[in-house]
């Protein structure tokens, strides 16, 4: 009898079945072999569309970085409190940091030519407003002519051999402004021969005692503004711009200065208004402080006390020191600038006939009303700001109101007082709210100043924003 032998090992089990087949059994399958290499991976499916990551409300430029300017309340933290502190001067729902028309409501923010100036306030539609060859803050598209000035009919030559010239522009009240080669009004007259000799020199400019030079050319921008310079005076780059209103009776001066040296520097700017009345006393008809004297805090004056054939004239200007010497007003300001720093100073002149008496005549009353309207600058009627770029308006220095702040309806008590405090320079002023609880104010300051307001209902702090370029 044949026996079948079973052998066991510790690891494998074999069946020794030689000679002992089982009917119909063809044996077991062998062990599985080593797996072959994996085949190539198939292509992945395309990622489905996803929503764009959200932006924090304070990330106004959308770069996903907390920039210093976006810490609006200056607490060192970027959060929703910064959004609440944003200012919206034109009340269009777009805060001033992002608004491409800072002073004109344009909630849609459309900008067809892509120059970062909204269509609603674009002075050069279809052209980049930033193109400005002479760096005076006015787009080149508004330069309508270059005035190549020759000698005047009398062939007058001033010391230094520079020919004198005059260029005349007439304002909306028929006053003729004869603009001299150094950027001031020489005489001033009424086109109907009601008067002449309003000035013996209106807004002459000196830098550290050096007079702004006579020029032989100037730019005429937008047919209403004559631009002198830039010229270097006492190491300071100076541009003078004189705008004559086409609709109202005044002229406006801008003095744009820039430090082109490599050091912090200080300069003394002096603007002189020489009245044509030639009086020898120090009285004025009226000043912004309500008296008949020029004080350091005054911003405007009206001069007409001699009741002669010479017209009444008025001036509006802010300065560190304002004084009247004889028939001249001297406005002095100290400008301190870092390398590359720029500042802009503004002033207005107007003239009227004193027909009907100095204190009762309609023309003089109109002149006084004009000066009063300028007190709240820059929150003034649009005609006073015509032709000013946003960069010029927000770049104003040494002024009684170049930072504007405004409260919406109901933000203050009805006709209540609102206290405004510029925490950066210490300036304070109080204004009265309107009957609907809205309010507006202008206070001395500049871009970046921290402005605190107390309306009786709300207390808050905001930062004066930069103008859109």
The larger pLDDT score, comparing residue 147 to residue 103, is at 103
Residue with tokens 């006390």: 305
Residue limits of CATH 2.70.98 in the chain: 140-394
Residue with tokens 């406005």: 331
Does residue 3 surpass a pLDDT of 50? no
How far apart are alpha carbons 20 and 5 in whole angstroms? 9
pLDDT tens digit sequence for 383-437? 898 888 766 776 776 554 556 677 888 888 888 888 888 888 777 777 778 788 8
DSSP 84-98: HT---TT-SSS-TTT
Q: 396 near 344, Cβ under 8 Å? A: yes
Could you confirm whether domain 140-394 is CATH 1.10.3860?
A: no
Q: 167 near 183, Cβ under 8 Å? A: no
Give the mean pLDDT of the chain.
75
How far apart are alpha carbons 323 and 203 in whole angstroms? 14
3-state DSSP assignment of residue 288: coil
> What mean pLDDT do residues 141-168 have?
48
pLDDT tens digit sequence for 275-296? 887 776 666 888 888 888 887 7
How far apart are alpha carbons 321 and 215 in whole angstroms? 28
Does residue 190 surpass a pLDDT of 50? yes
pLDDT band of 336, cuts 50, 70, 90:
confident
pLDDT band of 183, cuts 50, 70, 90:
very high
308 C-beta neighbours (distance < 10 Å), count: 14
Answering whether pTM is above 0.85, one says: no
């Amino acid at each position: 009898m044949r026996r079948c032998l079973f052998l066991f090992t510790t690891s494998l089990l074999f069946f020794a079945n030689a000679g002992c087949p089982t009917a119909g059994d063809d044996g077991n399958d062998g062990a599985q072999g080593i797996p072959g290499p994996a085949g190539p991976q198939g292509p992945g499916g395309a990622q489905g569309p996803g929503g764009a990551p959200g932006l924090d409300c304070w990330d106004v430029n959308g770069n996903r970085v907390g920039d210093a300017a976006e810490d609006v309340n200056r607490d060192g933290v970027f959060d929703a409190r910064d959004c609440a502190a944003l200012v919206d001067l034109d009340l269009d729902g777009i805060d001033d940091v992002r608004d491409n028309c800072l002073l004109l409501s344009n909630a849609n923010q459309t900008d067809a030519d892509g120059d970062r100036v909204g269509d609603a306030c674009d002075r050069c539609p279809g052209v980049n407003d930033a193109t400005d060859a002479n760096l005076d803050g006015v787009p080149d598209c508004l330069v309508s002519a270059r005035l190549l000035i020759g000698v005047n009919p009398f062939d007058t030559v001033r010391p230094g051999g520079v020919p004198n010239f005059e260029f005349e522009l007439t304002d909306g009240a028929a006053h003729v402004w004869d603009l001299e080669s150094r950027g001031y009004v020489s005489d001033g007259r009424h086109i109907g021969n009601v008067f002449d000799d309003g000035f013996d020199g209106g807004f002459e400019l000196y830098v550290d005692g050096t007079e702004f030079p006579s020029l032989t050319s100037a730019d005429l921008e937008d047919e209403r503004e004559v631009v002198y310079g830039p010229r270097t005076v006492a190491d300071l780059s100076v541009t003078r711009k004189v705008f004559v209103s086409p609709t109202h009776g005044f002229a406006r001066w801008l003095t744009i200065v820039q430090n082109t040296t490599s050091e912090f520097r200080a300069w003394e700017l002096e603007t002189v208004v020489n009245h044509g009345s030639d009086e020898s006393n120090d009285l004025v008809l009226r000043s912004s402080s309500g008296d008949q004297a020029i004080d350091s805090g005054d911003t405007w004056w009206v001069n007409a006390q001699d009741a002669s054939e010479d017209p009444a004239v008025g001036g509006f200007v802010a300065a560190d020191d304002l004084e009247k010497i004889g028939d001249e007003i001297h406005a002095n300001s100290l400008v301190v600038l870092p390398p590359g720093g720029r500042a802009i100073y503004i002033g207005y002149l107007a003239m009227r006939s004193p027909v009907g008496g100095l204190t009762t005549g309609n023309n003089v009353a109109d002149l006084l009303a004009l000066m009063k309207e300028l007190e709240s600058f820059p929150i003034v009627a649009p005609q006073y700001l015509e032709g000013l770029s946003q960069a010029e308006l927000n770049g104003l220095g040494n002024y009684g109101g170049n930072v504007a702040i405004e409260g919406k309806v109901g933000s203050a008590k009805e006709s209540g007082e609102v206290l405004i405090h510029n925490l950066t320079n210490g300036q304070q002023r109080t204004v009265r709210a309107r009957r609907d609880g809205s309010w507006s104010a202008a206070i001395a300051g500049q871009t970046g100043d921290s402005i605190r307001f107390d309306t009786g209902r709300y207390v808050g702090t905001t930062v004066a924003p930069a103008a859109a370029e």
